[in-house]
Amino acid sequence: DSTLDVMEYIKTINIELYNLIVWDLKRRKKYKVVDDANFDFESFAKCSVVSFDVFDTLIVRPFVYPDELFRYIEKKYSIKGFHHERIAAEQRARLANNKKEDITIYDIYDQIPFKYKKCLELEINEEINLCRANPLIKNIYNISQEYDKEVIAISDIYLPFLVIKKILEKNGFENIKKIYVSSEYKKTKASGNLYKTVLKENKYSRDDIFHIGDNMISDIKNAYDLGIRTFKATKMFDNFLNAPSNYKYYDFWKNHQSLSISIHMQLLSKRFSTIKDKSTYFEELGYNLGGPLALRYLYFVSKEAKDNNIDKFLFVARDGYLLKHVYEKYFYENFKIPCEYVYLTRATVLSSTLNYEKEPRYLETILRLAQKQYFDINVYKDYKSNLSEFKKHYSKIKEWSRTNYLNLKKHLNSCVGDATNVVIVDMTTGKFTSLTGAKELLKDKVSLGFFTFVFNNEIEYPYISLSSYSGENLDDVLTISELLISSPEEGIISMGKNSEPVYERVQDQNRIDRYNSISKGIDAYIDDFLELFEISDDNIISFDDWICLTESYLNNLNIIDKQYLSDITFSKEAIRGMDDVNLYK
């Protein structure tokens, strides 16, 4: 897709070759510091002054479009109508000051209704708090320092000079000799006059300056017309969206746009633009899809639990393994609801309760578990034969089940402790096995079950589902959700007498590695999100949007996606009793 992608691929498969290539490019002064094969390194090397545009070049906002800052302020501070009025006020200010080349933020707020004037300080503070360095252009700035270039910044912006200076310094651009801001000079790059001022004030010749910016007219054409050498920097978001491997995200973005989606897409674009030395495919999958899923579900669960006065979470094995980790790391501090990890798997519940609900697959599961763990018993393919076998050996099965029941109950009681109002937290369900098992063993201590998807509502116990979907035609999406919110453990078939889990097979190192990579990506996403935003419904993409994002991902798999996902097989305990299949082969 790009020079950077090729170099990163070489680094992954042959670090010695990568180091040799970098050494040779540096030796010949042709080392590309940006992800663009057209970067004019010779002009850069010859100039004495490197000039940078500020917004979308040195600095990026955490939104795709600048005006989404106003929408964010409206939502965060509950100031209804601010987004619309702020845009309208700027239009009025430009009309009122049409003899000036540019206006100030104070001109804008002179035109805004009185009730919104308090937002002036909020807007400035949020610009300072939210703006971050563009990782690609930061590389050029760093190289400029290494080459002892004089660095200046030139920006067409209504913000005051001191605000721009503070934003730049906060993000590591401390060594900029001078900052030219159109609102201060009342001259713009758009007219070309701000460039003339820069040349005149500093007595630069046109050959001295190499200007870098993202706007084709203001940064490139107008500077070029004055004889200044230029380089057009691709916007960070465009760099991400236009990469062929990211068509899956382009397909989603063109059909789904909102404040929360804008935040999510800009997080992905920054991640894409940051060189990652040791990132794996599954780490990126965890970041791009797993992060927003875990964030949305656990915020939903935490709020609902607080509203229902829940005093303990029971995160159900195995999906609850990662959910518990994320909850404890990112949510417990705010909600203070303790949690435990419980082994209420389908196998442990069925072997403890023998409640197969006239479900052929459940009865077969009970017989297979009994066969594997306890004594000789036949298991057939048809329900009638299995029912006959179950009745024939019922006394032995009952004895075996009683032991499992007592062990599981002991485990659950130790996890619940003194709590009297607990909930189980699981992912997808069709038969509510974890909830019904918990209710049978813990009785009234269990008040609710939380799920992402449910396939039917024929259950007597109360539950809350994150999704409004019925689960129809979403098998692939559900499969990905189960892959992302997973566990390094193998299947648990029963509990030992000391509350230790009994596994169906020896743990698979590939599963452990995959889990660790996905978990690392999810943590990285939430860390990046929380570095900028509070967790709220307005800032996190909705679950319906996540479904659409994942569908877009699956509908646009490239050859690398298929290569990695082809190794994922789905167990019989996966979605709606799916047989062992390889979804992508």
Helix (H, G, I), strand (E, B) or coil at 176: coil
Torsional sign, CA 337, 343, 348, 352: negative
The CA distance from 378 to 393, in Å, is 10
Q: What is the pLDDT of residue 573?
A: 36
Bridge partner list, 502: 494
Q: Is pLDDT at 268 greater than 60 in this prediction? A: yes
Least confident of 93-97, 292-296, 424-428, 507-511: 507-511
Comparing 46 with 212, the larger pLDDT belongs to 212
Q: How far is CA 198 from CA 140, 177, 206, 226, in A?
A: 21, 12, 10, 12
pLDDT band at 44 (very low <50, low <70, confident <90, very high): confident
Tokens describing residue 495: 């509990």
Largest CA distance in the chain: 100
Q: Is pLDDT at 277 greater than 60 in this prediction? A: no
Q: What is the pLDDT of residue 585?
A: 33
Q: What are the φ/ψ torsions at residue 183 (nearest 5 degrees)? A: -65, -25
pLDDT band at 278 (very low <50, low <70, confident <90, very high): low
Tokens describing residue 436: 């019904």
Q: Is pLDDT at 269 greater than 90 in this prediction? A: yes
Tokens describing residue 496: 């030992």
The CA distance from 585 to 573, in Å, is 20
Pairing of strands 49-52, 209-213: parallel
Pairing of strands 59-60, 132-133: antiparallel
Residue 234 makes CB contacts below 8 A (sequence gap 6+) with 36, 214, 242
- Where b means 16+ CB within 10 Å and e means fewer, 303-325 reads eebeeeebbbbbbbbbbbbbbbb
Identify the helix (H) or strand (E) that includes residue 16: helix 15-27
For 382-395, write each residue's pLDDT tens digit: 999 999 999 999 99
For 311-325, write each residue's pLDDT tens digit: 999 999 999 999 999
Q: What is the pLDDT of residue 71?
A: 97
Mean of the pLDDT values across residues 210-226?
Answer: 95
Bridge partner list, 451: 465
Mean of the pLDDT values across residues 509-527?
Answer: 93
* Cβ proximity of 439 and 355 under 8 Å: no
pLDDT above 70 as % of the chain: 92
Beta strands in 304-400 (DSSP E): 312-316, 339-342
pLDDT band at 507 (very low <50, low <70, confident <90, very high): confident
- Where b means 16+ CB within 10 Å and e means fewer, 90-102 reads beebbeebeebbb
Q: Is pLDDT at 157 greater than 90 in this prediction? A: yes
Identify the helix (H) or strand (E) that includes residue 212: strand 209-213
* Cβ proximity of 305 and 337 under 8 Å: yes
For 110-145, write each residue's pLDDT tens digit: 999 999 999 999 999 999 999 999 998 998 999 899
The CA distance from 504 to 485, in Å, is 20
Tokens describing residue 174: 């401390």
